[in-house]
Amino acid sequence: MPMKCKVCDDSRGAKSTAGQRICTPVDTDAIGAMIKVTIDGRAVEVPMGTTILDAARMMGIRIPTLCYHDDLCISGVCRICVVEVEGMRTLQASCAFPITSPIKVHTHTRKVRQARRHILDLMLSKHYGECYSCVRNNNCELQSLAEEYGVDFYRFGHVDKPKTGRDNSSYAIVRDMDKCILCRRCVRTCVDLQEVGVFEAMGKGDRTEIGTFMDKPMIEEICINCGQCINRCPTGALHAKDPSDEIWAAIDDPKKHVVIQTAPAPRSAIGECFGLEPGHALTFEMNTALRYCGFDKVFDTNFSADLTIIEEGTELLLRLYRALVNKDPSAAVPQFTSCSPGWVKYIEHFYPEMLPHVSSAKSPQQMFGALIKTYYAQIHKIDPADIVTVALMPCTAKKFECNRPEMRDSGFKDVDYGLTTRELAQMMKETGIELTQMEKSDFDDPFGTATGSGVIFGATGGVMEAAIRTVYELVTGDFIENLFEKARVLPVRGFEGIRRAELPIEKVGPVPDLLKPLVPNWDWVKGVTLKVAVAHGTANAKKVLEDIKAGGPLSECHFIEFMACPGGCLGGGGMPIPTSEEIRAARARAIYQEDESSAVRKSHLNPAVTALYEKFLKEGPCGHKSHHLLHTEYTARGRKVV
């Protein structure tokens, strides 16, 4: 009988080779059949292969879980979700039990409750540390279950000193294995969801532990710093390296001028840290709160996102000119986006031979940092050595990116600290701020003007949509609204792992003044169908790169957007916990609503960007100064300064 997993589409049966997961077998010949299941005396019909856990959720019956996560394949290792199935001698893990025939299930009998309590007690017996000093205090799944099941003493004892200690070697991620409960979520996230493979379960029985290759520290691993393991860890075993103490010290130093740039994704989600449901943007309340915290200036990363579109879009046009007109074989097409540092590190580790395809443009974070310590320092007559730049980002990989040795084109460290959404929320709480009650205020000049195109960088497909809006109008002289209603480039939106779109260039216009030094005309583009693609999550990035290497249809693309995290930045490793597909979709809605409420929605129409080229980057996009400050180069060994 043919079987396949309803989660991962693996047709090899119940046991998969990827990580430690145990997949749910489904009879493909019986797909569509409805099976009657009775749970706690209530009957319902569910499709063949539905798990007991899913059936219970359909009925509104809660079954506790720990190793289970909506984003991950089934593991069934923690056994917190055990239930009683009539006629079966032992309790069954509801997350991994497929319903293939009528059954009667009991979810909260004395036997079930006692088993769950004992499982919790066993976990707590090896869980070192107290909750007050834990980064996950009041947002820990183990802590919540201990409260729910009335744990008031350590039935099987409790460790009183750490055994392994913390691994603080990484710029981005801290490991504290004394808090690990062996749920293997980090393993499945890294192996199955991202296909990187930093973590693995090692040993057997009570000697099992989650380790890295050869037990190396994180700084020596192939970790891409995406932080997806953090977002799915139920305890404090994994968390981001928090620079808030250093930032507070800078704010309290009267000699320091402390500025912060805020990326689009955090504003769509920070309200979740203050009790709001996902999908409420608090952009302008956050500006007021940041000034209340003591930041001297609050800038909008959307400004440098617009700048990135101009630089990266120009680079794309120059590559296409070299490839289509000059027939230059060194013009690596398709061009890959470069704003996701987790993606950049992924390709450096796993596909270094394809680095020439990566755009030389820095990320918006790093472009901004270089400008603050050059252009901004000059016009305000501030010594760059006294400027402290903080970047509020949805991403733990941004912490690594700002510490890359090549990111010092201003003559100083361009961005001093990367701060996650979660960490900023904690700083605000320390200041007594209730964010939802703050008054609204705008960003500071000269980097306060941004567009809707900058905002949508926060969602997967957003960089591509912003690029299409600008490149199409610059080349054709026509409005993008004549092609896509309200400038909504819907073919590149959505949460499918890989999306493709084609854009015929049927007419061309005059070359804008900004680009006249670079190309003589657009005649060579007329009749070309621009082919683009979007991928989010490095497992999908791998599929795209393998397709290109094999000469598949994606090798015909001209431009491809890659984001390391599922959903793009709004699913970043520094965003509020928990995460799920529904939560990421709600955040995306908030981002697109802010886009449509923006006065200007195209990067090339940002007056602040135009002024920057007129006053500072006078040679235009991809000119000598912009190339020095806003770009890097890639070699087979990785990224380097121009």
Considering the candidates 401, 423, 473, 594, report the single residue annotated as catalytic. 401
CB distance 306 to 450 below 8 Å: yes
Whether 569 is catalytic is yes
Dihedral in degrees, nearest 10, Cα atoms 305, 306, 310, 316: 50
Mapped to the 3 state alphabet, what secondary structure does 47-115 carry? ECCCEHHHHHHHCCCCCCCCCCCCCCCCCCCCCCCEEEECCCCCCEEHHHCECCCCEEEECCCHHHHHH
Q: In what order do the strands lie in the sheet with 103-106?
A: 42-47, 34-39, 103-106, 82-85, 92-93
d(C-alpha 51, C-alpha 582), whole Å: 20
Considering the candidates 16, 94, 359, 603, report the single residue annotated as catalytic. 359
Considering the candidates 73, 565, 569, 622, report the single residue annotated as catalytic. 569
Considering the candidates 4, 179, 362, 398, report the single residue annotated as catalytic. 398
Q: How many residues does the chain have?
A: 642
What are the Cα distances from residue 113, in Å, to 97, 109, 150, 168, 514? 19, 6, 11, 38, 70
d(C-alpha 611, C-alpha 608), whole Å: 5
- DSSP-derived letter for residue 497 is S
d(C-alpha 262, C-alpha 419), whole Å: 10
Whether 398 is catalytic is yes
The count of other CB atoms within 10 Å of the CB of residue 123 is: 22
Tokens of 267: 């504003």
d(C-alpha 460, C-alpha 570), whole Å: 8
Whether 531 is catalytic is no
d(C-alpha 121, C-alpha 163), whole Å: 19
Considering the candidates 180, 186, 339, 565, report the single residue annotated as catalytic. 339
What is the helix, strand, coil percentage profile of the chain, to 5? 40, 15, 45
d(C-alpha 261, C-alpha 297), whole Å: 9
List phi, psi (to 5°) of 259. -120, 150
Tokens of 613: 């080229």
Whether 561 is catalytic is no
Whether 220 is catalytic is no
Whether 130 is catalytic is no
Considering the candidates 406, 543, 598, 633, report the single residue annotated as catalytic. 406
Whether 359 is catalytic is yes
What does the angle CA 143 – CA 186 – CA 190 come to, to the nearest 5 degrees?
160
Residues marked as catalytic: 312, 315, 339, 359, 398, 401, 406, 569
